[in-house]
Amino acid sequence: MLLLAPMEGLLDATLRDVLTRLGGVDRCTSEFIRITNTLLPERAFIRVVPELLNGGRTVAGVPVRPQLLGSDPALMAENAARLATLQPPGIDLNFGCPAKTVNNSRGGAVLLDEPELVGRIVAAVRRAVPAHIPVSAKMRLGYMDDARAEDNALAITDAGASELVIHARTKAQGYKPPAHWERIAQVAQALPAQRPVLIANGEIWCVEDARRCAAVTGCEHLMIGRGQITDPGLASAIRGEGGVPWSRVVPLLPLFWARVSARVERRHRAGRLKQWLNYLRHRHPEAQVAFDELRLHHDPQAIEAWIARAQAAWGCREAASAESAQPC
C-alpha cells in the first residue's frame, strides 16, 4: 500500500486531484483540520476535504482520509462524530505536525511528550466513530527526542487505531536528513502481535529509497510526500509500473491552474504554481525551464498565457515525435 502524505500549505485537494490522476497511489490523507474549542460545521470539513462530496474520493477514485488535529479528547471525539456523518473512508489523527505555531497551541508533535493524552485522544475518537470507519494516526518519533516513541506507539495501539504512520524523525529534527528508519523497526518490535498496520514515512525520494526503507523498517506499506510532488511518477515506479514522463505532466498544468484559480486568492495563485514547479524541477529539466520563465511573473493572465504556449509547444513536439516514429 502506497499512501500520499498530508502536507499543510502544499499537498491540498488541488494537488491530490492532479497527482492521483497519474496512478500509483492507493490512498491520500488530507492536510489537518484544526480542532480547538468548538464543534465545527460540516462545511469546515468539506472546505479542507472537498472530496467528501464525491464519496470521499478524488476524481481518479482514490480514497481521501480526513485528518484531525487537536488536544482535547472530548472535542476531538465530538468533531470526529460529526465528520463521520459525511461518510469518510476513515479518520486520521495528527500527532506529527512540527510547525511552531501548531505546537505552541498544543497540537501536533508536541503531544508526543504526553503519551497518555495521545492514547486518550485516539480512544475517544475510536469510541465516537462507527465501527465501520477506520481510525488511524500519524506520529513522529518524538518531540525533542525519541525517548517516548515506543510509549506513544503503544498508547495508539491500545486505544484501537487500525493503522499507524510513523515519520522517522522527531519534531526537533524537522525534515533534515537522514530519516531514522531503524527506529521504526525498533518501535515495531515493542508492539504486541495484534498491532495496527505500520506505515513508514520519511526521505523516500526514489525507488531505491523505498526498497531500503521497507527493508530497514520491516514495513510493507509506505507513505510518500515530497518525493511524489517532485516526481509524480514515483508511486508508479515503486510498483514497477514505470515512471511518469514530462509529457504526461504538462497536460495536467492547466488542470492544476484551474483548480488553484477556483480555490486560491488571485494574488497567491502564481505562487502556488511556482511552488510546485520548484519541486518538479529537481526531477524534470523541463520544469526548471518553466520555473525560470515564470519566476518573475505574478499576474494570473501572464501565467495563463504561458500555460497555453507551453501546451502548444509541447503538443508540436509530441506530434513531431509521433510522425518521425511512423514506418517509412
In this structure, the number of other CB atoms found within 10 A of the CB of residue 96 comes to 26
**Residue 321 confidence class, pLDDT cut points 50, 70, 90:** very low
Write down the pLDDT at residue 324: 40
147 & 286 share domain: no
Length, in residues, of the chain: 328
**Residue 317 confidence class, pLDDT cut points 50, 70, 90:** low
214 & 308 share domain: no
145 & 228 share domain: yes
Write down the pLDDT at residue 312: 81
| Residue among 154, 97, 91 at smallest CA distance from 127 | 91
Distance separating alpha carbons of residues 321 and 247, to the nearest angstrom: 12
209 & 258 share domain: no
- Its domain, for residue 39, covers 2-241
Domain harbouring 268, CATH code? 1.20.225
Q: What is the pLDDT of residues 89-104, one digit of tens each?
A: 999 999 999 999 999 9
Distance separating alpha carbons of residues 86 and 74, to the nearest angstrom: 19
Q: What is the pLDDT of residues 68-94, one digit of tens each?
A: 999 999 999 999 999 999 999 999 999
- The pLDDT of 179-203, averaged and rounded, is 97
Q: What is the pLDDT of residues 27-46, one digit of tens each?
A: 999 999 999 999 999 999 99
105 & 41 share domain: yes
- The pLDDT of 163-178, averaged and rounded, is 97
- The pLDDT of 247-268, averaged and rounded, is 92
pTM of the model: 0.92
- The domain boundary, picked from 208, 241, 274, lies at 241
89 & 165 share domain: yes
**Residue 315 confidence class, pLDDT cut points 50, 70, 90:** low
Residue 280 has pLDDT above 70, yes or no: yes
80 & 162 share domain: yes
Burial of 129 (0-12, 13-18, 19+ CB in 10 A): buried
Omega before 178 within 30 of 0, i.e. cis: yes
- The pLDDT of 150-165, averaged and rounded, is 98
Per the listing, cell 505536525 goes with 97
- Calculate ∠ Cα 141-113-78, nearest 5°: 100
Distance separating alpha carbons of residues 47 and 56, to the nearest angstrom: 13
Write down the pLDDT at residue 229: 97
What are the helix and strand counts (H, E) for the chain? 15, 8
Percentage of the residues of the chain whose pLDDT score is greater than 90 = 87
234 & 264 share domain: no
44 & 94 share domain: yes
Pick the catalytic residue from 97, 206, 219, 316.
97
Residue 168 has pLDDT above 90, yes or no: yes
Is 97 among the residues known to form the active site?
yes
35 & 80 share domain: yes
Say if 327 falls within a structural domain. no
